[in-house]
Amino acid sequence: MPVPDADIHPEATGPAKALVAHHQAEQPLKFYAGWFCPFVQRVWLALEEKQIPYQYIEVNPYHKQPSFLALNPRGLVPTITSPSPDASSSSSARPLYESTVILEYLEEAYPTHGPALLPTDPYLRARARIWIDYVTSRIIPAFHRFLQHQPSSSDSAAGDTARGGELQTLREEFLNTLKEFARELHPQGPYFSGQDFGLVDVVLAPWAIRLWVFDEFKAGLGIPAPGQGGADEAVWDRWRRWVAAVEGRRSVRQTLSEREYYLPIYQRYAEDKAQSELARAVRKGRGVP
Ligand SMILES: N[C@@H](CCC(=O)N[C@@H](CS)C(=O)NCC(=O)O)C(=O)O
């Protein structure tokens, strides 16, 4: 039986629609994507930043088609197939999945497609990987715990579901993960490592540009307005500058659809009705699947 999430808009809209249209021609690298998916957007950003030729193929991962499950047994987007180096090989389409694995693969498999999104210095590469892991293992689960929270009777008793009780605790926990990240940003920036956009920026950007969901569904995100951050003003100022740089990045804007089409998807998360693997994992207190 199809899950309710299967009812998503079938294609990209807005700027992303134009980008999809430009990437319909047959290419050795095939990108199985869902326009709405932040994990997909990670890979899409890297493909665009590095100008790697790709063929965009829209997949609804909530309809698990056998042909797609043959490429990715979990049936998740993003998935790519890359050409075999042996052109005579019968199994020429080699599948890969998991956004961060694909990102590392693109760095290694397309070394002449600049810019490099990981530093060359081994220490700085390792440090970038620590913060890539932090985004996936800390920030995204905290984002979803906050988004999927449902008011309990104790929240209602507090008479303040927006600023009291569990919701406020989850808001603060999420904000603390952002502050911890912001403290690691290059002092001038604007990006994580300085002037150059890199993989740490790539892995968080899709969630950074979806923070409006908390204004829409959870009575606000709660990042202090400029000048209002008190003892944390410097760190919030640095966070705001990072977000502004990411929001203005061409690849980020080009891979975005119109907000109205994201709304029903995030509404299901906000009402904790989403049936995606991620939604269910968060409900069970686990991390990103
Ligand atoms: N860990 C995966 C997560 C990918 C993922 O959860 N993709 C979602 C769409 S945003 C999906 O395909 N969901 C289908 C499902 O949950 O059944 C990655 O980093 O690529």
116 is a domain residue: no
Considering the domain architecture, whether residues 253 and 135 belong to the same structural domain is answered as yes
Look at residue 92 in the predicted model and tell me its pLDDT.
Answer: 67
Spatial neighbors of 213 by CB under 8 A, at least 6 apart, are: 147, 262, 266, 269, 270
Mean pLDDT on 33-57: 98
**pLDDT for 133-191, tens place per residue?**
999 999 999 999 999 999 876 555 444 454 568 999 999 999 999 999 999 999 999 99
Considering the domain architecture, whether residues 100 and 195 belong to the same structural domain is answered as no
134 is a domain residue: yes
142 is a domain residue: yes
**pLDDT for 72-108, tens place per residue?**
999 999 999 998 777 665 556 899 999 999 999 999 9
Q: What band does 43 get if pLDDT is binned at 50, 70 and 90?
A: very high
For residues 137-174, one letter each, b for 16 or more C-beta atoms within 10 angstroms of the residue's C-beta and e for the rest, the string is ebbbbbbbbbbbbeeeeebeebeebeeebbbbebbeeb
CA-280 nearest atom, ligand 1: 16
Spatial neighbors of 37 by CB under 8 A, at least 6 apart, are: 61, 77, 78
Tell me the three-class secondary structure of 174-230, residue by residue. HHHHHHHHHHCCCCCCCCCCCCCCCHHHHHHHHHHCCCHHHHHHCCCCCCCCCCCCH
Structure tokens at 226: 């400029």
Q: How far is the CA of 240 from the centre of ligand 1 (A)?
A: 28
Q: Is the pTM of this model over 0.85?
A: yes
Considering the domain architecture, whether residues 161 and 274 belong to the same structural domain is answered as yes
Residue 103: CA count within 13 A, CB half-sphere:
26
Under a CB-based contact definition with an 8 Å cutoff, are residues 281 and 289 in contact? yes
Cβ–ligand 1 distance for 77 under 6 Å, the answer yes
**Residue from 77, 148, 266 whose mutation best tests the ligand 1 pocket (most atoms within 8 A of CB):** 77
| Residue nearest atom 12 in ligand 1 by C-alpha distance | 76
pLDDT above 90: residue 234? yes
Cβ–ligand 1 distance for 80 under 6 Å, the answer no
Least confident of 30-39, 146-155, 217-226: 146-155
Q: How far is the CA of 74 from the centre of ligand 1 (A)?
A: 9
216 is a domain residue: yes
**Residue from 8, 36, 202, 277 whose mutation best tests the ligand 1 pocket (most atoms within 8 A of CB):** 277
H-helix or E-strand spanning residue 62 = none
Which of the two residues, 282 and 178, has the higher pLDDT score?
Answer: 178
Q: Strand pairing partners for 30?
A: 55, 81
Mean pLDDT on 8-30: 97
**pLDDT for 236-259, tens place per residue?**
999 999 999 999 999 999 999 999
Look at residue 160 in the predicted model and tell me its pLDDT.
Answer: 46
Spatial neighbors of 251 by CB under 8 A, at least 6 apart, are: 44, 45, 48, 49
Spatial neighbors of 125 by CB under 8 A, at least 6 apart, are: 118, 119
Under a CB-based contact definition with an 8 Å cutoff, are residues 109 and 88 in contact? no
**Residue from 96, 255, 257, 276 whose mutation best tests the ligand 1 pocket (most atoms within 8 A of CB):** 276
Considering the domain architecture, whether residues 242 and 138 belong to the same structural domain is answered as yes
Domain of 92, in residue numbers: 4-109
| Nearest of 39, 103, 32, 43 to residue 68 by alpha carbon | 32
Q: How far is the CA of 154 from the centre of ligand 1 (A)?
A: 33
Cβ–ligand 1 distance for 64 under 6 Å, the answer no
Residue type, 63: H
pLDDT above 50: residue 1? no
214 is a domain residue: yes
Spatial neighbors of 189 by CB under 8 A, at least 6 apart, are: 195, 238, 241, 242, 245
CA-275 nearest atom, ligand 1: 16
Helices 199-208 and 99-109 pack at an angle, to 10 degrees, of 140
Considering the domain architecture, whether residues 43 and 150 belong to the same structural domain is answered as no
Structure tokens at 160: 């303040």
Considering the domain architecture, whether residues 44 and 85 belong to the same structural domain is answered as yes
Q: What is the CATH number of the domain that holds 199?
A: 1.20.1050.10
Number of domains in the chain: 2
289 is a domain residue: no
Look at residue 89 in the predicted model and tell me its pLDDT.
Answer: 57
Residue type, 71: L
Look at residue 152 in the predicted model and tell me its pLDDT.
Answer: 75
Look at residue 159 in the predicted model and tell me its pLDDT.
Answer: 47
Q: How far is the CA of 280 from the centre of ligand 1 (A)?
A: 12
115 is a domain residue: no
Cβ–ligand 1 distance for 202 under 6 Å, the answer no
Q: What is the CATH number of the domain that holds 28?
A: 3.40.30.10
Q: What band does 48 get if pLDDT is binned at 50, 70 and 90?
A: very high
> What CA dihedral angle connects 270, 275, 277 and 280, to 10 degrees?
70
